[in-house]
Chain A
Amino acid sequence: MAALRAMAVRLGLVADVDGGPPIVPPSGWSAWLTTLTACAMAFLALLTIAAGLAAGGLAEDWQADLAEAATLRLPASTDAATLERVIDQLSATPGIASARALDPGEQAALLEPWLGRGARLADLPLPVLVDLRIEGSGPDVPALEANLGLVTPGAVYDDHAGVRAPLGRAAEEVRRIALAGTVLVVLAAAGMVALAARASLAANAELVRIVRLIGGEDAFITRAFVGRIVRRTALGAIAGAALGAGALAALPVGGLSTALAPVLLPGPGGLAALAAVVALGFVAVGWGAARATLRVTLREMQ
């Protein structure tokens, strides 16, 4: 405990460690601007990270779903006996866990977005679709296609690669954008803290001069100012991260598919962990930015 306290003192995170009054005077309402800005930044950072995680997670989820499935398209003229033989052949193929032909109702549901409800599908030469569940690394596709070609010329095996690849790229892009957004928010927070530190020193230039003249080291002055700024930043960051987590937790997920909800939003534990990471990150960034700015500014004031 004593070692932790000593470290906190050295880092300037603990105020007035010697039991005396604060060296830095109270600065009135303007001090709350730092807290308010940190709150807004932490809120935005949490939402950006959560959005990036959710979108990336969703794309990955879809990608994984697609990777576990494939579709076999058979010509519209395929009769029931041929279809049965194909199903039997597929079921016996290593790498395929199951094969099931889509019934007319399922096909209608798939086409409904394009053709509308109640379209007379029986009049259309629709291919017969077989839904395949893939296991392991999947079937030997060239061999499978060759075998199927003997039974039903014109059969096409679709492993969804054409859809999976763009989804993968989209997931990567979304992550990159979220990361860039987070970095920008963090840089803005660091800039805000640096400005606050400089303003605080400028407002207390005479105090700094007196403290130096009566034997104060710059390290002492730095600790006093860092402590003040980091505590304000921490207060804002905790509030902002908590608000962000609260806002996400309060999203009306009831309207979403129950399959999507867990992907879009982490559970309460996950949100709490995310909020803690954001708040701690802001404290670390605030501490680093404040300390670096104060050291440089104090050197300039020599």
Chain B
Amino acid sequence: MISLEKISFGYDGRTTLKELDLEVPAGSFHFLTGPSGAGKTTLLKLLHLEHRPDTGRIGLFGEDIQPADPRQRTRLRRRIGVVFQDFRLIEHMSVSDNIALPLRLQGKPMATHGDDVIELVQWVGLTERADALPRTLSAGEKQRAAIARAVITSPELIIADEPTGNIDAEMGMRILRLLVELNRLGKTVMVATHDLGLIRAAKSLVSARTLRLSEGRLMQAASDL
């Protein structure tokens, strides 16, 4: 599913990621942890093609993404659902319109996919807020809307960056259960978080591998997390 070979990446001459190697099989659940500034978000940005690595090779769905032109990158992005750390909901669109947007971008008319959106809005518990604009939502509601938008097209890979940041523990567990449920549906899930409590809580729900990023290098996290 994901294959990283000697990936390095830096900002303004400062190397953030150093020669990372990683294999993520399809259908797996991975946590990516590490201190703030360790490069978790950067690694996820490389995986959903927001950045290009300085060196090394990234394979996604069996394709080498380095030579991909914009059209190919779009095609690959459509197979990935991303929950951004800052949600990145479109402010002038309602919750349900934000959730439906990836369908529109793929040319799937609302006339035939409206029911999917309603079901998903219900699944993430936002039925009452379906017509609300993002600025009126709480952080937890935005997070759930972002998750719904990430999965509306049923992507093979779901990447979530700090999906429980800025929300209370109860809401965090609710979001974790959503991600676990998606993994049980066969989706590959990669979650970046520095919330070790979340990772511990997940152990009872799913068989997850935890990777730790430290000083730009990737290592298997201790089993007693």
Contact = CB atoms under 8 A, between A and B. Distances in A.
B130 to A, nearest CB: 13
Contacts of B104: 18, 20, 23
Nearest to B50: A213
Nearest to A218: B70
A17 B59 CA distance: 35
Given A21-B93, A213-B82, 14 more contacts: A19-B109, A20-B100, A20-B110, A21-B92, A21-B94, A21-B97, A25-B90, A25-B92, A207-B90, A211-B105, A212-B77, A214-B82, A214-B102, A214-B149
B74 A217 contact: yes
B92 A19 contact: no
A45 B54 CA distance: 53
B225 interface: no
A227 to B, nearest CB: 14
6 smallest A-B Cβ distances: which pairs? A25-B92, A215-B78, A216-B105, A19-B110, A215-B105, A210-B88
B106 interface: yes
A217 B109 CA distance: 16
Contact of A18 (B82, B90, B93, B109): B109
Given A25-B91, A213-B50, A19 B77 contact: no
13 contacts: A18-B109, A19-B111, A20-B97, A21-B93, A25-B90, A206-B88, A213-B77, A213-B82, A214-B82, A215-B74, A215-B102, A217-B105, A220-B105
A206 B77 CA distance: 17
A26 interface: yes
Interface of A: 18-21, 23, 25-26, 206-207, 210-218, 220, 302
A213 B84 CA distance: 10
Nearest to B93: A21
Contacts of B110: 18-20
A283 B50 CA distance: 36
A208 to B, nearest CB: 11
Given A18-B110, A19-B111, A25-B91, A214 B105 contact: yes
B33 interface: no
Given A19-B111, A302-B70, A214 B77 contact: yes
A214 B100 CA distance: 11
Contacts of B48: 213
Interface of B: 48, 50, 70-71, 74, 77-78, 82, 84, 88, 90-94, 97, 100-102, 104-107, 109-111, 149-150, 153
A21 B104 CA distance: 10
A214 B101 contact: yes
A77 B88 CA distance: 100
Nearest to B107: A18
Contacts of B102: 214-215
Contacts of B93: 21
Nearest to A22: B92
Contacts of A25: 90-92
A158 B56 CA distance: 90
A217 B106 CA distance: 9
A214 B92 CA distance: 17
Contacts of A217: 70-71, 74, 105
Given A20-B100, A20-B104, A215 B111 contact: no
Contacts of A215: 74, 77-78, 102, 105-106, 153
A214 B48 CA distance: 9
B97 A213 contact: no
Contacts of A23: 90, 101, 104
A212 B88 CA distance: 12
A26 B92 contact: yes
A12 B102 CA distance: 19
A215 B82 CA distance: 10
Nearest to A25: B92
B100 A210 contact: no
A298 to B, nearest CB: 9
